[in-house]
Structure 1
Amino acid sequence: MAEENNSKVEPGSQDTSRNVNQRETSMQSHSWFEKSLRVIDVKKGDKFAPILDAVGQFGTFQRRLVALTFIPNIISGFFLFVDQFVLEAQKPYCNTSWILAVGPNLSEAEQLNLTLPREPNGTFQTCRMYLPVSWDLDSIIQFGLNYTDTCQDGWIYPGAKRRSLINEFDLVCGRELYKDTMHTTFVAGLLTGCFMFGLISDKMGRYPATLLSLLVLTVFGFGTAFVNSFNLYLFFRFCASQALVGYAISSMSLVTEWLGGEHRAHGIILAHCFFDVGILFLTGLAYSIPHWRLLFLVGGLPVFPLIFYIWILPESPRWLVMKGKVKEAKELLCYAAAVNNRTIPLSLLDELQLPRKKTTTASVLDFYSNRQLCMMTLVLSVVWFTSSYGYFTLQITMKEIGVNIYLRQVVFGLMEVPARLCCIFLVDQVGRKWSLAMTLLQASLVYLVLMFIPAGPKSTMVLVIMLGQFSLAATATVFFLHTAELFPTVLRSTGLGLVTLSSVAGAMLSLTIIRHGPSILPFFLCLVSVIMALGFSSLLPESRNQPLCDSLEHFPHLRNMSKEDVSDEIPDDVSDDMSADVSPEASRNAILNAQILRLDLHPLTKTALKEFRGQEESKQEP
């Protein structure tokens, strides 16, 4: 036997040497090959799919879960756009009440006429006043006042019918930049909230992240009505914006992991529709309530019943299993089945076991080290950026052409609800990828039309913008669903947070370009970006009727093998026997034996490894 083995490795036999090299190469790449096979098996056999079928695809438990997201989404729509209604423009004039000391019976018009200088067109100047003098009223009327200066005692707003932030904190006459600061602060809250709550949701769970975001929204959303300075208002809005994006990420991750198939798409789409209901709710309140503080009080009042979510909101069983909490996951699944009047077979529950791979302990660094995951995140970010940039460009354009803010928000709200409902039909019939391509293509046609009618009739512009808003609302809904399904459970919320960063960046860029660029430039950039998004989105896999990924084992092909990866290939009974004082040769043999034990019973592979092992034994014979 030894002679036969030695004859196989003699230098004179080229074919035999090639076979040995191929065997050695196959052993080196065996770990990667086994990982690939295991990924295919995991994708073919999602353990949660049969369990969710046994629990009930869309029973009472799932319907209740989806309904729990409706009220917070209405509140989110309210708090996200409320700043547009509390900054209503007011025409200020300098406070010149000093003249009432010498003429207490003067009317408001007479007071302004005597104490305010006029513009060349005859209107009163808004930021300058005549300096006070120690004359009597008759002398002031006879000789008039000559010396002017900036406002000394604040401002008055004679024509104001509403109490807004403008006349509450005097954001006029050189203080208009504070309004830009408010927008910047709110966007900064969105950016930090994306990252922070994404990490919290993946590390601590969907349940605590959702409750924390609702708590922050209750304190800093409703509490905004009681601030006594503009800086404090900025701080409260910063915290509220973090909570808004945090709830969107954690709640959608929870719904995604509890529902399956078409029910998942229906639940997420309906939740987005109630976000538009919140915008309509805000518009109605803002139109009927004349004081900004009262607006925050009434609009934020529904956050208090959400305290009951502590007892009725469930955790994600997928997340529990990935964190090794299998017992809690089984109890939760049994409870859900009981609510649905179903029973889970014990054989299915027994299939839920602790994850064997250390890749379940993922971190945000995997978005850099795992090249496949990194590339997918970059592609998703490009499409999210495009969608957000186009959406806010159309909104700002509608504002620039002079459409009333109340009409603008009502039109957008009414257009977006049917747009999102149409997505139910699209994603069921043609899938996520083709639905996304169709909505992006429709948006590109809208941008092309807008490039040729930048100065066209106002009614035509409004109609085309409404069509564009319809397309982009559908795009956002489909893509949110697609993104949530593509990321693995261990990094789903963090991934949603990272791609949302690009969405916020698109919103910021749209405001900057419209302010500083020609009228045709924003639409041209929208057209270019949406064409890029069409190309990038074609690289994404289809997720309709596909099981959700749970761990990073689904992204193995471009991940480098490390020492931890090699140690993961060794069964526990072998690794426990290996100690620090074992020789390198013994360790190599133990690893080789462990790999052989883990091989599938494929005839060719088994024969090749047997021959390879025989060669190793023959080399050690004297």
Structure 2
Amino acid sequence: MAGEENFKEELRSQDASRNLNQHKVAGHPHSRSLEMLLRRFRAVHTKQDDKFANLLDAVGEFGTFQQRLVALTFIPSIMSAFFMFADHFVFTAQKPYCNTSWILAVGPHLSEAEQLNLTIPQAPNGSFLTCLMYLPVPWNLDSIIQFGLNDTDTCQDGWIYPDAKKRSLINEFDLVCGMETKKDTAQIMFMAGLLIGSLIFGLITDKMGRYPAILLSLLGLIIFGFGTAFVNSFHLYLFFRFGISQSVVGYAISSISLATEWLVGEHRAHAIILEHCFFAVGAMLLTGIAYSLPHWRLLFLVGGILVIPLISYIWILPESPRWLMMKGKVKEAKQVLCYAASVNKKTIPSNLLDELQLPRKKVTRASVLDFCKNRQLCKVTLVMSCVWFTVSYTYFTLNLRMRELGMSVHFRHMVPSIMEVPARLCCIFLLQQIGRKWSLAVTLLQAIIWCLLLLFLPEGEDGLRLKWPRCPATELKSMTILVLMLGEFSLAATVTVFFLYTAELLPTVLRATGLGLVSLASVAGAILSLTIISQTPSLLPIFLCCVLAIVAFSLSSLLPETRDQPLSESLNHSSQISFQKDVALDSSSDGSFRNKVKDMKTKETSSDDMSEEAAKNVILNAQILRLDPYPVSNSALKQFNKEEANSQAP
């Protein structure tokens, strides 16, 4: 391997010198056949570097065991979305009036309208005031009707909600007339739970394992989700929402870590994409159930009943063999792999199992401080935190902008959730064609475009009339909604690529902790969005979306590509940039090389799998046949061939 690395370094240095001399061959088209062979060689080389890739090949790359594992991650994702967005449907706006039932003692046969007319002050436009009432007087009904009441005060005996069609937290705990800020308190508590849960579950997942962290998060969903239906005070409701938010972020971190470490290649990408699609399905399920149920407690009862069967995960969920190896639990790792092979009806060769040995360096001492000490890890964490901060800030800003346009809560959640499914499925095509790095860049670029368009569209319903008074308000409003939807579409794809990319960039020993840290940036972005929108003009938040997205787009270019690369296991195994070489062809004298490529392509189509040795020979021949004034040195070739002979010797 050392000879091969030296050979590659010499090729890189010679390519650099050719670029400095402005060699005219560099402008010629690339050979697609050789590029395909290079990709195949990188895949073979990756499997050699990653011993778990070979083991998972023997277990079955995507057999019954892996399919079951992926399916098990879908159901909790649905319920996570269900409980995460439940707050939006339990604070249904209600119009309150002071409870003036005292007048029924002197006029028991009064209708509701007559009662309000006698005991509630009216505004100049004739509507009843919601937070004032006439004070009781020791008169009979005739005197009250004849002379009327004059002394007013705030509500003394609570409120009534005559127009309410559903029972919500508003009329359950009387969050009106100066108590509306408690609704914001619920959102703050949920954000605080996400902050603390990101840290706690990130550490738990890396210290105790993926399996215990998933079980703890599911237990939290059952206890806090089902228990919310029985709270008897608003403060207790806040406590249960605090617990639910920790469980939601805990499951997201631990499940993605488990799926990343059990699956290889594109199967890993497909699993995470599908998990996010089912998260959107959970949001749609919540919207439909919330629309049909008349009481907010029934919403949590239904969600709690659906979560209870997840207790069965205690017996059917596996642990990550990569994490077990990093913790020195070789025996347990072998047992898990053998069980997976038995489910897939495969047999692992004994020599592959014997290769699983304790790591040379102790990796169990890894801690959060390593994110500052390790340069590569620090760079990855900072860049991805910036991206996640941007995505979260932009998403909340667009969602709040939608609310300013007067859209109903059901529309604001159902339509984006429906659009998120194809948005996330599009990531499959992007990741296969251009890889993780450029997929992230493309989705961020789309978000930049939609945010720039929003700068030229009116803000809110009043802005529709002020900015373009001659244009039809309905058309402008529809255009603004469409741009907002497309922006959320792009952000949904960005989130999916982000989770996959971050999980592959982080080492196994600190993967969950790193996901927790970047989740902190997500919550910070959401908090900033809520703060800025409530205190500043509506044009500034959109402008900041553009600026932050451009910064995140620029910083994403610093990250290495992870497609066809082995997962980093320890801190010493940093993310590697794949060996990519483009072969330039001289259009005037490349007939022999083109014939070689044609022969190679013919041989390739006759066989599904090309051996590693054949791929290496093709690449070497391509480099030797390249027409340039700086051929590969004989010493490098001899050294490479010597290393190959030694590696193949018994």
Whether the 8 Å CA contact 1:360–1:551 is kept in 2: the answer is no
Query: 2: distance between equivalents of 1:140 and 1:171?
Result: 31
Q: Give the match's secondary structure for 1:343.
A: coil
Residue matched to 2:227: 223
1:411 aligned partner, one-letter code: V
Residue matched to 1:286: 290
Residue 365 of structure 1 deviates from its aligned partner by 1.4
The answer to whether structure 1 residue 244 and structure 2 residue 263 are counterparts is no
Q: Give the match's secondary structure for 1:358.
A: coil
Query: 2: distance between equivalents of 1:143 and 1:378?
Result: 72
Structure 2's unaligned 5+ residue stretches are: 1-44, 465-475, 577-638, 640-650
Residue 205 of structure 1 deviates from its aligned partner by 0.2
The answer to whether structure 1 residue 125 and structure 2 residue 129 are counterparts is yes
Residue 355 of structure 1 deviates from its aligned partner by 1.1
The answer to whether structure 1 residue 262 and structure 2 residue 266 are counterparts is yes
Residue 398 of structure 1 deviates from its aligned partner by 0.7
Residue 359 of structure 1 deviates from its aligned partner by 3.4
1:485-564 superposed matches below 5 A: 485-555=504-574
Q: Give the match's secondary structure for 2:153.
A: strand
Residue matched to 2:32: none
Residue matched to 1:184: 188
Residue matched to 1:153: 157
Q: Give the match's secondary structure for 2:345.
A: coil
Whether the 8 Å CA contact 2:505–2:575 is kept in 1: the answer is no
Whether the 8 Å CA contact 2:562–2:575 is kept in 1: the answer is no
Residue 42 of structure 1 deviates from its aligned partner by 9.6
The answer to whether structure 1 residue 55 and structure 2 residue 55 are counterparts is no
Kindly tell me the number of residue pairs found equivalent between the two proteins: 519
The answer to whether structure 1 residue 196 and structure 2 residue 200 are counterparts is yes
Sort the Cα spacing of 1:71 and 1:253 in 2 relative to 1 into closer, same or farther, 3 A: same
Residue 300 of structure 1 deviates from its aligned partner by 2.2
The answer to whether structure 1 residue 72 and structure 2 residue 76 are counterparts is yes
Whether the 8 Å CA contact 1:370–1:555 is kept in 2: the answer is no
Sort the Cα spacing of 1:556 and 1:91 in 2 relative to 1 into closer, same or farther, 3 A: closer
Q: Give the match's secondary structure for 1:220.
A: helix
Q: Give the match's secondary structure for 1:149.
A: strand
Q: Which segments of structure 1 move beyond 4 Å, counting only runs of 4 or more?
A: 41-44
2:78 aligned partner, one-letter code: I
Query: 2: distance between equivalents of 1:465 and 1:149?
Result: 44
- Which residue, out of 342, 355, 358, partners 2:346? 342
Residue matched to 1:620: none
TM-score (normalised: structure 1)? 0.82
The answer to whether structure 1 residue 418 and structure 2 residue 437 are counterparts is no
The answer to whether structure 1 residue 367 and structure 2 residue 371 are counterparts is yes
Residue 554 of structure 1 deviates from its aligned partner by 1.7
Residue matched to 2:319: 315
Q: Give the match's secondary structure for 2:61.
A: coil
1:280 aligned partner, one-letter code: M
Residue matched to 1:468: 487
- Which residue, out of 89, 95, 98, partners 2:93? 89
Cα deviation digits, residues 281-335 of structure 1 (max 9, x gap): 0000011001000111112211111010000000000000000000000011011
Query: 1: distance between equivalents of 2:376 and 2:442?
Result: 26
Residue 371 of structure 1 deviates from its aligned partner by 2.7
Backbone CA RMSD of aligned residues = 1.5
1:296-335 superposed matches below 5 A: 296-335=300-339
Whether the 8 Å CA contact 2:392–2:526 is kept in 1: the answer is yes
Residue 519 of structure 1 deviates from its aligned partner by 2.0
Residue 471 of structure 1 deviates from its aligned partner by 0.6
Cα deviation digits, residues 545-581 of structure 1 (max 9, x gap): 1110011112499xxxxxxxxxxxxxxxxxxxxxxxx
Residue 43 of structure 1 deviates from its aligned partner by 9.2
Q: Give the match's secondary structure for 1:129.
A: strand
1:264 aligned partner, one-letter code: R
The answer to whether structure 1 residue 483 and structure 2 residue 502 are counterparts is yes
- Which residue, out of 356, 361, 365, partners 2:360? 356
Residue 439 of structure 1 deviates from its aligned partner by 0.8
Q: Give the match's secondary structure for 1:553.
A: coil
2:244 aligned partner, one-letter code: A
2:197 aligned partner, one-letter code: G
Q: Give the match's secondary structure for 2:451.
A: helix
1:580-599 superposed matches below 5 A: none
Cα deviation digits, residues 130-158 of structure 1 (max 9, x gap): 11111110111111111011100000001
Query: 2: distance between equivalents of 1:369 and 1:431?
Result: 29
Sort the Cα spacing of 1:104 and 1:556 in 2 relative to 1 into closer, same or farther, 3 A: closer
Whether the 8 Å CA contact 1:43–1:549 is kept in 2: the answer is no
Residue 98 of structure 1 deviates from its aligned partner by 0.3
Residue 356 of structure 1 deviates from its aligned partner by 1.2
Residue 360 of structure 1 deviates from its aligned partner by 4.1
Cα deviation digits, residues 111-139 of structure 1 (max 9, x gap): 01000111121111111111111111011
Residue matched to 1:16: none
Residue matched to 2:448: 444
1:105-116 superposed matches below 5 A: 105-116=109-120
1:192 aligned partner, one-letter code: I
Whether the 8 Å CA contact 1:359–1:553 is kept in 2: the answer is no
Residue 514 of structure 1 deviates from its aligned partner by 1.6
2:479 aligned partner, one-letter code: T
Cα deviation digits, residues 255-285 of structure 1 (max 9, x gap): 0000000000000000000000000000000
Q: Give the match's secondary structure for 2:358.
A: coil
Whether the 8 Å CA contact 1:130–1:146 is kept in 2: the answer is yes
Residue 361 of structure 1 deviates from its aligned partner by 2.5
Query: 2: distance between equivalents of 1:360 and 1:113?
Result: 73
Larger radius of gyration: 1
Higher relative contact order (CA 8 A, sep 6+): 2
2:450 aligned partner, one-letter code: V
Query: 2: distance between equivalents of 1:373 and 1:430?
Result: 24
